[in-house]
Structure 1
Amino acid sequence: MKLQPDRLDVQSILGYGPGWIGLGSNGVAEKIERSIVIGSRGEKFDWNCPQFEQLTAAHFDRLAETRAELVIFGSGSRLRFPPPAFLRGLMAQRIGIETMDTLAACRTYNILAGEGRHVITALLIGPTA
Protein backbone atom coordinates (compact mmCIF):
# COMPACT_ATOMS: atom_id res chain seq x y z
CA MET A 1 0.00 0.00 0.00
CA LYS A 2 1.25 3.48 -0.81
CA LEU A 3 0.68 6.26 1.72
CA GLN A 4 0.55 9.91 0.69
CA PRO A 5 0.60 12.36 3.60
CA ASP A 6 -0.51 15.92 2.86
CA ARG A 7 2.94 17.19 3.83
CA LEU A 8 5.04 16.01 6.72
CA ASP A 9 8.11 17.88 7.90
CA VAL A 10 9.38 14.78 9.71
CA GLN A 11 10.56 11.43 8.42
CA SER A 12 7.51 9.47 7.39
CA ILE A 13 6.54 6.06 6.13
CA LEU A 14 5.69 6.42 2.46
CA GLY A 15 4.53 2.87 1.81
CA TYR A 16 4.67 -0.67 3.13
CA GLY A 17 4.14 -4.28 2.26
CA PRO A 18 5.01 -7.72 3.56
CA GLY A 19 8.67 -7.58 4.60
CA TRP A 20 9.36 -3.90 3.84
CA ILE A 21 8.55 -0.25 4.47
CA GLY A 22 9.38 2.85 2.47
CA LEU A 23 10.85 5.62 4.59
CA GLY A 24 11.04 9.22 3.42
CA SER A 25 12.97 12.12 4.87
CA ASN A 26 14.12 15.40 3.33
CA GLY A 27 13.00 14.33 -0.13
CA VAL A 28 14.92 11.04 0.01
CA ALA A 29 13.10 7.70 -0.07
CA GLU A 30 14.58 4.47 1.21
CA LYS A 31 13.26 0.90 1.15
CA ILE A 32 13.84 -0.85 4.49
CA GLU A 33 13.69 -4.64 4.77
CA ARG A 34 14.92 -5.12 8.35
CA SER A 35 13.61 -4.34 11.80
CA ILE A 36 14.10 -0.66 12.56
CA VAL A 37 13.29 2.15 14.96
CA ILE A 38 12.33 5.54 13.57
CA GLY A 39 11.20 8.68 15.28
CA SER A 40 9.56 11.98 14.56
CA ARG A 41 12.67 13.89 15.63
CA GLY A 42 14.94 12.14 13.15
CA GLU A 43 15.77 9.08 15.25
CA LYS A 44 16.66 6.08 13.11
CA PHE A 45 18.52 2.96 14.09
CA ASP A 46 18.46 -0.76 13.37
CA TRP A 47 16.50 -2.81 15.87
CA ASN A 48 18.52 -6.02 15.82
CA CYS A 49 15.63 -8.39 16.25
CA PRO A 50 14.35 -10.18 13.15
CA GLN A 51 11.67 -12.18 15.01
CA PHE A 52 9.24 -11.51 17.84
CA GLU A 53 10.55 -14.54 19.73
CA GLN A 54 14.02 -12.96 19.91
CA LEU A 55 12.88 -9.81 21.74
CA THR A 56 14.42 -9.06 25.13
CA ALA A 57 14.04 -6.35 27.75
CA ALA A 58 17.20 -4.75 26.33
CA HIS A 59 15.38 -4.00 23.07
CA PHE A 60 12.77 -1.98 24.95
CA ASP A 61 15.35 -0.37 27.25
CA ARG A 62 16.95 1.10 24.12
CA LEU A 63 13.59 2.64 23.23
CA ALA A 64 13.35 4.20 26.70
CA GLU A 65 16.64 6.01 26.03
CA THR A 66 14.92 8.06 23.30
CA ARG A 67 12.75 9.82 25.92
CA ALA A 68 9.86 9.87 23.45
CA GLU A 69 6.33 10.75 24.45
CA LEU A 70 5.01 7.49 23.00
CA VAL A 71 6.44 4.27 21.56
CA ILE A 72 4.46 2.39 18.91
CA PHE A 73 5.57 -1.23 18.75
CA GLY A 74 4.87 -2.98 15.45
CA SER A 75 4.88 -6.66 16.38
CA GLY A 76 5.13 -8.09 12.86
CA SER A 77 2.41 -9.49 10.64
CA ARG A 78 0.11 -10.19 13.59
CA LEU A 79 -0.63 -8.58 16.91
CA ARG A 80 1.55 -9.95 19.73
CA PHE A 81 2.26 -8.31 23.07
CA PRO A 82 5.70 -8.27 24.70
CA PRO A 83 5.94 -9.54 28.29
CA PRO A 84 5.21 -6.76 30.80
CA ALA A 85 8.67 -7.24 32.37
CA PHE A 86 10.22 -6.03 29.08
CA LEU A 87 8.44 -2.69 29.45
CA ARG A 88 9.78 -1.68 32.87
CA GLY A 89 12.29 0.79 31.45
CA LEU A 90 9.58 2.55 29.44
CA MET A 91 7.26 2.66 32.45
CA ALA A 92 10.04 4.04 34.66
CA GLN A 93 10.50 6.91 32.17
CA ARG A 94 6.70 7.40 31.95
CA ILE A 95 6.77 6.66 28.23
CA GLY A 96 3.55 5.27 26.82
CA ILE A 97 3.60 2.19 24.59
CA GLU A 98 1.03 0.93 22.14
CA THR A 99 1.30 -2.44 20.46
CA MET A 100 -0.17 -3.24 17.05
CA ASP A 101 0.78 -5.17 13.94
CA THR A 102 3.55 -3.53 11.93
CA LEU A 103 1.32 -2.19 9.15
CA ALA A 104 -1.05 -0.52 11.63
CA ALA A 105 1.99 0.88 13.47
CA CYS A 106 3.16 2.51 10.22
CA ARG A 107 -0.16 4.28 9.73
CA THR A 108 -0.40 5.37 13.36
CA TYR A 109 3.17 6.68 13.38
CA ASN A 110 2.47 8.95 10.39
CA ILE A 111 -0.64 10.40 12.01
CA LEU A 112 1.02 11.14 15.35
CA ALA A 113 4.26 12.41 13.82
CA GLY A 114 2.21 14.68 11.55
CA GLU A 115 0.56 16.14 14.65
CA GLY A 116 3.98 17.17 15.95
CA ARG A 117 4.15 14.55 18.70
CA HIS A 118 7.52 13.08 19.75
CA VAL A 119 6.75 9.51 18.76
CA ILE A 120 9.00 6.51 18.14
CA THR A 121 7.98 3.43 16.23
CA ALA A 122 9.83 0.14 16.64
CA LEU A 123 8.97 -2.13 13.74
CA LEU A 124 9.59 -5.83 13.36
CA ILE A 125 10.13 -6.26 9.63
CA GLY A 126 11.20 -9.32 7.76
CA PRO A 127 9.99 -12.59 6.30
CA THR A 128 9.46 -14.13 9.75
CA ALA A 129 8.29 -11.03 11.63
Structure 2
Amino acid sequence: MRLNEITYTNAVPVDGYGPGFFRVGGVAHEGPLLVWDRGRADWGGLDDVETLLSMAGTVDVLFIGTGAETAHLPAGLRAQLEEAGLGVDAMNSPSACRTYNVLLSEGRRVALAALPV
Protein backbone atom coordinates (compact mmCIF):
# COMPACT_ATOMS: atom_id res chain seq x y z
CA MET A 1 0.00 0.00 0.00
CA ARG A 2 1.28 3.46 -0.87
CA LEU A 3 0.49 6.35 1.48
CA ASN A 4 0.69 9.96 0.40
CA GLU A 5 1.20 12.87 2.74
CA ILE A 6 -1.69 15.32 2.61
CA THR A 7 -0.89 18.99 2.34
CA TYR A 8 -3.55 21.47 3.39
CA THR A 9 -3.05 24.78 1.64
CA ASN A 10 -5.31 27.37 3.24
CA ALA A 11 -7.99 25.20 4.82
CA VAL A 12 -7.23 23.18 7.91
CA PRO A 13 -8.86 19.98 9.15
CA VAL A 14 -10.84 19.62 12.35
CA ASP A 15 -8.56 17.88 14.85
CA GLY A 16 -11.23 17.13 17.44
CA TYR A 17 -14.34 18.25 19.26
CA GLY A 18 -15.98 17.96 22.64
CA PRO A 19 -18.71 19.52 24.76
CA GLY A 20 -18.99 23.11 23.51
CA PHE A 21 -15.76 23.26 21.51
CA PHE A 22 -13.89 22.24 18.36
CA ARG A 23 -10.12 21.97 17.86
CA VAL A 24 -8.93 23.17 14.45
CA GLY A 25 -5.28 23.34 13.50
CA GLY A 26 -4.36 22.61 17.11
CA VAL A 27 -6.34 25.60 18.43
CA ALA A 28 -9.48 25.23 20.54
CA HIS A 29 -12.54 27.15 19.35
CA GLU A 30 -15.57 27.51 21.60
CA GLY A 31 -19.10 27.67 20.19
CA PRO A 32 -20.42 27.33 16.63
CA LEU A 33 -17.67 27.16 14.04
CA LEU A 34 -17.16 27.90 10.35
CA VAL A 35 -14.15 26.36 8.59
CA TRP A 36 -13.28 26.79 4.91
CA ASP A 37 -10.39 27.74 2.65
CA ARG A 38 -10.17 31.18 4.26
CA GLY A 39 -9.58 29.72 7.72
CA ARG A 40 -11.89 29.41 10.70
CA ALA A 41 -14.33 31.84 12.26
CA ASP A 42 -17.19 32.13 14.68
CA TRP A 43 -20.52 31.20 13.17
CA GLY A 44 -23.84 32.61 14.37
CA GLY A 45 -25.69 29.30 13.97
CA LEU A 46 -28.58 28.48 11.68
CA ASP A 47 -29.80 32.10 11.70
CA ASP A 48 -26.46 33.33 10.28
CA VAL A 49 -27.47 32.84 6.65
CA GLU A 50 -25.47 35.74 5.18
CA THR A 51 -22.16 34.25 6.29
CA LEU A 52 -23.00 30.98 4.56
CA LEU A 53 -24.22 32.72 1.42
CA SER A 54 -20.92 34.61 1.19
CA MET A 55 -19.24 31.29 0.30
CA ALA A 56 -21.24 30.87 -2.92
CA GLY A 57 -18.95 30.42 -5.88
CA THR A 58 -15.98 29.34 -3.79
CA VAL A 59 -17.44 26.23 -2.13
CA ASP A 60 -19.11 23.28 -3.83
CA VAL A 61 -20.38 21.48 -0.73
CA LEU A 62 -21.24 22.92 2.66
CA PHE A 63 -21.50 20.45 5.52
CA ILE A 64 -23.70 21.69 8.34
CA GLY A 65 -23.20 20.00 11.67
CA THR A 66 -26.41 20.18 13.69
CA GLY A 67 -24.89 19.34 17.08
CA ALA A 68 -25.00 15.98 18.84
CA GLU A 69 -28.04 14.80 16.87
CA THR A 70 -28.88 14.99 13.19
CA ALA A 71 -31.63 17.51 12.51
CA HIS A 72 -33.32 18.75 9.37
CA LEU A 73 -32.37 22.22 8.23
CA PRO A 74 -35.17 24.77 8.06
CA ALA A 75 -36.64 24.56 4.54
CA GLY A 76 -36.07 28.27 3.93
CA LEU A 77 -32.39 28.03 4.84
CA ARG A 78 -31.82 25.02 2.58
CA ALA A 79 -33.63 26.74 -0.29
CA GLN A 80 -31.55 29.92 0.05
CA LEU A 81 -28.28 28.02 0.10
CA GLU A 82 -29.17 25.79 -2.83
CA GLU A 83 -30.46 28.76 -4.84
CA ALA A 84 -27.04 30.40 -4.30
CA GLY A 85 -25.39 27.31 -5.79
CA LEU A 86 -24.17 25.70 -2.58
CA GLY A 87 -24.58 21.97 -2.19
CA VAL A 88 -25.76 21.41 1.38
CA ASP A 89 -25.54 18.31 3.52
CA ALA A 90 -26.75 18.36 7.14
CA MET A 91 -25.70 15.73 9.68
CA ASN A 92 -24.65 15.55 13.30
CA SER A 93 -21.51 17.57 14.01
CA PRO A 94 -19.12 14.63 14.57
CA SER A 95 -20.09 13.15 11.20
CA ALA A 96 -19.88 16.56 9.53
CA CYS A 97 -16.35 17.07 10.87
CA ARG A 98 -15.18 13.67 9.65
CA THR A 99 -16.78 14.07 6.22
CA TYR A 100 -15.35 17.58 5.84
CA ASN A 101 -11.86 16.27 6.68
CA VAL A 102 -12.08 13.44 4.14
CA LEU A 103 -13.23 15.65 1.28
CA LEU A 104 -10.73 18.34 2.25
CA SER A 105 -7.95 15.75 2.03
CA GLU A 106 -9.11 14.98 -1.52
CA GLY A 107 -8.66 18.63 -2.46
CA ARG A 108 -12.38 19.36 -2.73
CA ARG A 109 -13.88 22.83 -2.31
CA VAL A 110 -15.75 22.18 0.94
CA ALA A 111 -16.76 24.11 4.03
CA LEU A 112 -18.01 23.18 7.47
CA ALA A 113 -20.49 25.10 9.59
CA ALA A 114 -21.01 23.23 12.84
CA LEU A 115 -22.85 23.58 16.12
CA PRO A 116 -20.99 22.12 19.09
CA VAL A 117 -21.98 18.81 20.66
Give the TM-score band, short-chain normalised: 0.7 to 0.9
| Structure 1 CA distance for aligned equivalents of residues 86 and 16 of structure 2 | 27
TM-score normalised per structure 1 = 0.76
TM-score normalised per structure 2 = 0.83
Secondary structure class of the residue paired with 1:112: helix
1:71–1:98 contact (8 Å) kept in structure 2: yes
Residues 85-119 of structure 1: per-residue CA shift (max 9 Å, x gap): 11232111221100110111110010011111111
| Structure 2 CA distance for aligned equivalents of residues 103 and 66 of structure 1 | 22
| Structure 1 CA distance for aligned equivalents of residues 49 and 70 of structure 2 | 17
1:92 matched to 2:117: no
Residues 8 and 101 (structure 1 numbering): CA distance in 2 closer, same or farther, change over 3 Å? farther
What are the ranges of 5 or more consecutive residues in structure 2 without an aligned counterpart?
Answer: none
**Where does residue 53 of structure 2 map in the other structure?**
64
1:118 matched to 2:104: no
Given candidates 20, 26, 31, the residue that maps to 2:28 is: 31
AA partner of residue 54 (structure 2): E
| Structure 1 CA distance for aligned equivalents of residues 55 and 90 of structure 2 | 17
Residues 54-74 of structure 1: per-residue CA shift (max 9 Å, x gap): x33xx2342121121010000
| Structure 2 CA distance for aligned equivalents of residues 36 and 17 of structure 1 | 13
| Structure 1 CA distance for aligned equivalents of residues 6 and 14 of structure 2 | 12
AA partner of residue 94 (structure 1): G
1:47–1:122 contact (8 Å) kept in structure 2: yes
AA partner of residue 111 (structure 1): V
Secondary structure class of the residue paired with 1:87: helix
| Structure 1 CA distance for aligned equivalents of residues 85 and 38 of structure 2 | 21
Aligned residues: 109
**Where does residue 17 of structure 2 map in the other structure?**
16
